[in-house]
Amino acid sequence: MIDFYKSLVEIVGEGHVSNQAEELYFYARDSGLMPIHKPPDYVVAPKTTQEVQKIVELANEKKIPLVPMGGGMSLAGLINPLKGGIVIDMKRMRNILGVNEKARYVIVEGGVSQGALGAYLERNYPNLRHSAVEAPPATTIASSVVIHGQGRLTQQYGFTSDMVSGLEVVLPTGEICRIGSCAMSPDWFSKGPTLPDLSGLFLGWLGTTGIITKVGLKLYPKKKIRDVEMFVTDKADLIPDILFNLTHTEMVEDILIGSQSGIHFDPPMFKGYHYVTLYITGDTDDELEFKRKMVWDSLKEFRENKDGGFMWVLPMIKPGLLEAPQKWITRTLADDKKGGGFTYSGPIVLIEKYPLFAKRLEEVGDKHKLDYAGLARVIGRGHAMMFGFGFPFNRVDSDLMDRVRKALHELIVFAFNQGGIPWKPNIEEQKMAMERMDPNTLKIMMMIKKNLDPNGIMNPGNWEVE
């Protein structure tokens, strides 16, 4: 395979390709709890679409698997090669290619990070924003859209993949393909409509149908002022109504619901409470206060019945809540056990299921003697929610890691049984989803995959029927 290595070096240059034990070790795993399968044989870091294309052509020729990688922070093992091959680390492709201010979209290369886009907009287009995610800043825009990510604007505008306004994709057979208005126009304002929406061939496929090398992403108005409110209740049963009322106002930017056992606090002072964190924005104090009043009024009945109330957000914690991403989440969860470990599974479910999910998380957490965090986010105007079952762990505590794995398995089975669908599904969840899926739906999926990737080289093992 010396020739193959040399071929990769010819494509991306010395230093940006490796078949050394160190890279093969690192790129065989992510920070989550998914098992290691077959480490990659090579790791490459291309700089251009043309380099990606050449790598794909080479991989096709030799029938070597390809695993595209962005920030690698799904925690679901989606970048862990299942059948070896080449991991393509996309983060050297980090040019922001342009913004259409009036049409509110940006075009970025496939390795542009969430953090870099946020900083770029802040500096150059302070009246525009994208739906920044809660994951660490190295998470790429392309990986967010490919896993149907969620961010600060998800309650208003849906999944990050709903915000795509165009794609450039290197197909599994090596062709460079444009999707959306950019397929026939210099403008990247629509991912599909009024044409057949081909973006669905790539969004949600976890890199099994092509490698995204450019993304057009919708931007949204950025208000000058942003504030946070926190409504607390110990009655999980009321959360669906609380969320219904809040979303009815159409005044809220983002809505997160948190519950937890005793993470970071001893005694567990937050256990049994549900914290609805909601964000409001405005260009003026008047606008902000009007929205605040609407929000407070929408929960009047709960306040008057003493079912819950708005808590004073301490000045010392407010900046952390307003950050994007919120560093304290990573710091608190991943270092709670002093072991660099945190993982979660976040099925998408109906909001009315919140009480059941919160209860089940508590039961399973207690059963396995685990600290837990429930992290939920409203999607659309209450059309669904992501309910994350989160657990910190310690990488040197194998017993704890086993208990976390068992708890997650029980919870995801519960979520499926409650009519939920998996978000960024790991290999186990994909299998469970395909088992439950309408056979004809699965048939279409496999047909699409087979036709786009005849050699089966794209992230093989994922969305795959054994």
CB of 447 to other proteins, least distance (A): 35
Least distance CB 438 / other proteins (angstroms): 38
Nearest distance, CB of residue 142 and other proteins, angstroms: 16
The least CB distance from residue 198 to other proteins, in Å, is: 30
Nearer to other proteins, 118 or 180 (CB): 118
User: Which CB atom, from 115 or from 207, has the smaller least distance to other proteins?
Assistant: 115
Smallest separation, CB 132 to other proteins (Å): 10
Per CB under 8 A, residues contacting other proteins are: 15-16, 18, 20-23, 25-27, 31, 43, 45, 47, 71-73, 89, 91-92, 94, 113-116, 118-120, 122-123, 136-138, 327, 330-331, 334-335, 338-342, 395-396
User: Which is nearer to other proteins, 115 or 382 (by Cβ)?
Assistant: 115
Supply the angle between the helices 398-417 and 354-367 in degrees, to the nearest 10: 150
Q: Which residue has the tokens 């049409």?
A: 103
Q: Which is nearer to other proteins, 133 or 432 (by Cβ)? A: 133
CB of 461 to other proteins, least distance (A): 22
Residue with smaller CB distance to other proteins, 169 or 324: 324
One-character DSSP codes across 350-400? -GGGHHHHHHHHHHHHHHTT---EEEEEEETTTTEEEEEEEEEEETT-HHH
Q: Which is nearer to other proteins, 122 or 234 (by Cβ)?
A: 122
Closest approach, Cβ 4 to other proteins, in A, equals 18
46 touches 88 (CB < 8 A)? yes
Structure tokens at 18: 């490796």
The smaller minimum CB distance to other proteins, of residues 87 and 201, is found at 87
Contact 358, 418 (CB under 8 A): no
Query: Measured between alpha carbons, how far is 377 from 348 in angstroms, rounded to an integer?
Result: 9
Burial group, residue 309, by CB count within 10 angstroms (0-12, 13-18, 19+) = middle
Phi, psi at residue 375, to the nearest 5°? -125, 105
Ramachandran quadrant class, 460 (left: phi over 0; alpha: psi -120 to 50; beta: rest): beta
Task: Name the amino acid, one letter, at 175.
Answer: E
